[in-house]
Amino acid sequence: LSFPGGSGRWRVGRSTFREHGLPHELVVLTDLSRTLREEERRAWQRLVRVLGHEMNNSLAPIKSLAGSLETLLRREPMPRDWKDDAESGLKSIASRADSLSRFMQAYTRLAKLPPPQKEDVDLGELVQRVVNLEPRLKVQTVPGPKLQIHADAAQIEQVLINLVHNAVDAALETKGAVTIRWREDGDCVEVIVRDEGEGIMNPTNLFVPFFTTKPGGSGIGLTLSRQIAEAHGGTLSLANRTDRTGAEAVLRLPR
């Protein structure tokens, strides 16, 4: 909305009232720019915190290895196995640099999600494909109604792979089970992935890019999955179960 003397993002509220028997209309404009900027600032802060953490994890060992190698080269006389030490130090440096570059590739993938190429997809078949892709644990499929959705099959498959992967990660910790089911809800469908893991420790950071609590985790699974869900006009949520310990992910999509 823009008008003389002001432009930006505004919330418009409208109501009617009567005064002295005459109908009036009340329009209230609220400047939202400040609130939105504050939200944006917080999102950036969270992102920079996670990015910084990941970069330090690679850069700190690189610097320390470079220091040890320098000390090694200055030693007089050189220790007999200096070549082995130098070789293993350089290998570690290369591997840290590789992992940092993989991390940056993942970041690029996040920033460049293509728009969904929608087609008619049989939801039950898609779910079955995803379940068959999980070798670590037999995920139980609770059969649901036969449903067609209009969606990008590859992208939705990616979302479900991520959700099942996280559920299995959690369930393996407790030797619990994972189930997947789907249902119809008005003009939407919901796919529900439940696990019997420990549940979610801290729900605030789940969807922050690169947030992970796993040693080899990328922390982009949920962020990417939510982006895909929203690009389809749907939603993705993850919360603790209310019936027992464990987590429940709900992917909701328009049909």
Distance, CA of 232 to chain centre: 16
Q: Which of 152, 157, 195, 196 binds ligand ADP (CB under 6 A)?
A: 195
194, two tokens: 């439940």
CA distances from 126 to 71, 140, 143, 165, 169 (A): 57, 14, 12, 15, 21
What minimum distance in Å lies between the beta carbon of 82 and Mg ion?
Answer: 42
Closest CA to 180 of 172, 192, 171: 192
Q: Does residue 58 bind ligand ADP (CB under 6 A)?
A: no
**Helix or strand or coil: residue 65?**
helix
d(CA 192, CA 144): 11
Q: Does residue 197 bind ligand ADP (CB under 6 A)?
A: yes
Work out the number of other CB atoms within 10 angstroms of the CB of residue 243: 7
Mark 150-179 with x for binding to ligand ADP (rule: CB under 6 A) and - for no binding.
------------x---xx--x---------
108, two tokens: 């690029």
d(CA 249, CA 238): 4
Q: Which of 166, 223, 225, 227 binds Mg ion (CB under 5 A)?
A: 166
What minimum distance in Å lies between the beta carbon of 166 and Mg ion?
Answer: 4
Q: Which of 144, 197, 209, 221 binds Mg ion (CB under 5 A)?
A: 221
What minimum distance in Å lies between the beta carbon of 218 and ligand ADP?
Answer: 4
Closer residue to ligand ADP in complex, CB, 180/247: 247
Closer residue to ligand ADP in complex, CB, 218/227: 218
What minimum distance in Å lies between the beta carbon of 138 and Mg ion?
Answer: 19
**Helix or strand or coil: residue 251?**
strand
What minimum distance in Å lies between the beta carbon of 94 and ligand ADP?
Answer: 23
d(CA 159, CA 232): 12
CA distances from 216 to 7, 99, 150, 210, 211 (A): 46, 10, 34, 11, 12
d(CA 18, CA 236): 44
Closer residue to ligand ADP in complex, CB, 28/239: 239
What minimum distance in Å lies between the beta carbon of 247 and Mg ion?
Answer: 12
In this chain, which stretch among 17-25, 46-54, 102-110, 216-224 interacts with Mg ion, using CB under 5 A? 216-224
Mark 207-226 with x for binding to ligand ADP (rule: CB under 6 A) and - for no binding.
----xxxx--xxxxxxx---
Give residues in contact with Mg ion (CB under 5 A): 166, 221
> What is the contact surface with ligand ADP in residues (CB under 6 A)?
162, 166-167, 170, 195, 197, 199-200, 206, 211-214, 217-223, 238, 247
